Structure 1
Amino acid sequence: MELRTTQATGANLDSHNRKLVKKGLSGLGKLVLIGYAIFTLYPLYWLFISAFKTNEDFFNRPYALPLVWMRENIFRAWELGKMGKAMFNSTFVTISSVILTLILGILAGYVLSRFQFRFKRVAVSLFMAGLLIPIHSTLVPLFLMMKEMNLLNTYGALILPYTAFELPIAIFLAMGYMASIPREIEEAAMIDGSGWWGVFGRVIFPLCTPIVATISILAFLRFWNDFSFALVFINSQALKTLPLSLALFSDGFGTDYSLTMGAMAIAVIPTIVVYLILQDQIMKGMVAGSIKG
């Protein structure tokens, strides 16, 4: 009887110790995640507090809150950088490129993931080869092509290259995601009388919301922040995008950091808003393609 009692007590102690270890590891994990979140978000915090400092305060107290909150930095940056027009240009180019990328990428991904046809592997290989091309190595030939096509200093000079270079990753993600959708869903829709376009529009595309969000945010970040293509292909002040407007606050003699930080704070807000809106769908889209349904 005493032996059984001793064994039961030992088992309870072991169970209690295991629970304590699990709680400790869980707490440690949470602390690590909190530390990582702080480490990741601190640059953003530093950017926003720097946007309200004077140049003197920026250099003398780089990590502290502003002595005087210079709200006029935001308004001066907006006015001097002509950021209203630049914001419109970036928004138009980015949204147009994202929509075109989604249309072509989702359709191509659907065909390549659901149909068997001759030279399919060749087509997939060609699209995937686009992931290996260094984008900036194509600036000179693209410039010559744009010049011959009279596309320089137009929105098309940015929209077309953006879409072309984003399509490989869009198709790759769409193919992986659509391969996880059970084919029985398509067969049921076909039995109900839907054609291929009906199956795609009413069945497949509505199920692709997570991957559409993933492709959208990845493309948005790339297009919104691009500097090199806009610098080479756009010379007209009326068509300059936000990254080009940010460069106006720096010249060969110095940089006005208070206005630069104010302009950067303005430019980063749309990116944050888009990510916060789509974050749940992005996480679903990134993992769904690895699970075969």
Structure 2
Amino acid sequence: MQASTKMQAAGEKPAAWKKPVGFALKVLLLIYAIVTLYPLYWLVISAFKTNQEFFNRPYAWPLQWQIDNITRAWDLGNMGRAMINSAIVTIVALVLTVVIGTLAAYALSRFKFKLNPLLKGMFLLGMLIPIHSTLVPLFIFMNKVGILDTYWALIMPYTAFELPIAIFLGIAYLTSIPRDVEEAAMIDGNGWWGVFGRIIFPLCLPVISTVSILAFLRFWNDFSFALVFINTQALKTLPLSLSLFSDGFGTDYALTMGAMFIAVIPTIVIYLIFQEQIMKGMVAGSVKG
């Protein structure tokens, strides 16, 4: 009886600690969520304030919501055209990154040849290169080639600098996919391209979604490359349009916040869409032997 009583007491002790630990964990997660979401909340309320209210009541709700900030920022910053330019550059660079990255990862993870380790090392080395240190060489190169101040002046660097990450993640993910799947597809009469298009690419949806999120955020929010490589007003991307509301004499914070509110909406929408795709892809792409 005493032994059973001690066992019950010993068994109840961990259960007694679960509730406070679980509660503390939930509190920490709630605090983390508040800290993470507060900048977005501050941006939203600031986008609908006047300049005077922005300085006098920086953390309070607007006394009167200034919808005019959004419409004026859209018109004065030519944000419609800038959003189209950003969409063109981002989508093309994203497609190239996903297709080339997945193909390269498949080749490097499945085929054995002499230059395989060297190519893997080169792509891994590409992740260590400081991107902004290449601005001047790229500017000189693009000027000589004649693609400066075009969409390709942004698409090509975006794709090149994102490929090492895409290939690295792709190789790591493809090593978890058994070769039996490809062998079965080969027996059914598929060639290498058929195996890649019908089997490998769909199974890689989880890692493709991850790469797409990272690439989209970098491409859409890039400022330095667009500032250096784009001069024509009609080709300026969304981050460049935000700089129009600030000059050497002052900044119109009401319009700046309104423009930033417009710019952040596509990012949030795309991020939420890809988050759902990651969850679906992890379930659909899992392979169990």
TM-score (norm. length: structure 2) = 0.95
8 Å contact from structure 1 (residues 158, 229) kept in 2: yes
Distance of 1:175 and 1:225 partners within structure 2: 27
Query: Where does residue 167 of structure 1 map in the other structure?
Result: 163
CA offset at residue 42 of structure 1? 0.5
Is 1:176–2:172 an aligned residue pair?
yes
Aligned residue among 218, 231, 235 for 2:231 = 235
- Give 1:171's aligned amino acid: I
- Tell me how large the CA RMSD over aligned residues is: 1.9
| Of 105-114 and 14-23, the range deviating more from structure 2 | 14-23
Counting matched residue pairs gives: 286
| Correspondence 1:179-194 to 2 at 5 A | 179-194=175-190
Query: Where does residue 51 of structure 1 map in the other structure?
Result: 47
- Give 2:57's aligned amino acid: R
| Of 27-36 and 231-240, the range deviating more from structure 2 | 27-36
8 Å contact from structure 1 (residues 179, 292) kept in 2: no
Distance of 1:268 and 1:181 partners within structure 2: 36
8 Å contact from structure 1 (residues 214, 285) kept in 2: no
Aligned residue among 35, 38, 50 for 1:39 = 35
Query: Where does residue 83 of structure 1 map in the other structure?
Result: 79
Distance of 1:127 and 1:285 partners within structure 2: 26
Aligned residue among 258, 264, 268 for 2:264 = 268
Distance of 2:43 and 2:13 partners within structure 1: 45
Query: Where does residue 106 of structure 1 map in the other structure?
Result: 102
Aligned residue among 105, 130, 140 for 1:144 = 140
Query: Where does residue 225 of structure 1 map in the other structure?
Result: 221
CA offset at residue 177 of structure 1? 0.7
- Give 2:144's aligned amino acid: E
| Of 111-120 and 9-18, the range deviating more from structure 2 | 9-18
SS at match of 1:254: coil
Alpha-carbon displacement from aligned partner over 1:99-151 (angstroms, at most 9, x marks no partner) = 01111100000000111012111111111111111111111111111111111
Query: Where does residue 258 of structure 1 map in the other structure?
Result: 254
- Give 2:184's aligned amino acid: A
CA offset at residue 8 of structure 1? 3.5
8 Å contact from structure 1 (residues 109, 175) kept in 2: yes
Distance of 2:9 and 2:277 partners within structure 1: 44
Task: Give the direction of change, closer, same or farther, for the CA distance of 1:221–1:100 in structure 2 (3 Å limit).
Answer: same
Distance of 1:108 and 1:29 partners within structure 2: 42
CA offset at residue 44 of structure 1? 0.5
SS at match of 2:127: helix
Distance of 1:243 and 1:283 partners within structure 2: 30
| Correspondence 1:110-129 to 2 at 5 A | 110-129=106-125
CA offset at residue 281 of structure 1? 4.3
8 Å contact from structure 1 (residues 47, 265) kept in 2: yes
- Give unpaired runs (5+ residues) of structure 1: none
CA offset at residue 11 of structure 1? 3.4
- Give 2:35's aligned amino acid: F
CA offset at residue 194 of structure 1? 1.0
Is 1:19–2:18 an aligned residue pair?
no
Distance of 1:55 and 1:96 partners within structure 2: 38
| Of 13-22 and 219-228, the range deviating more from structure 2 | 13-22
- Give unpaired runs (5+ residues) of structure 2: none
CA offset at residue 292 of structure 1? 10
Distance of 2:30 and 2:281 partners within structure 1: 24
Aligned residue among 204, 208, 227 for 2:204 = 208
Distance of 2:90 and 2:63 partners within structure 1: 37
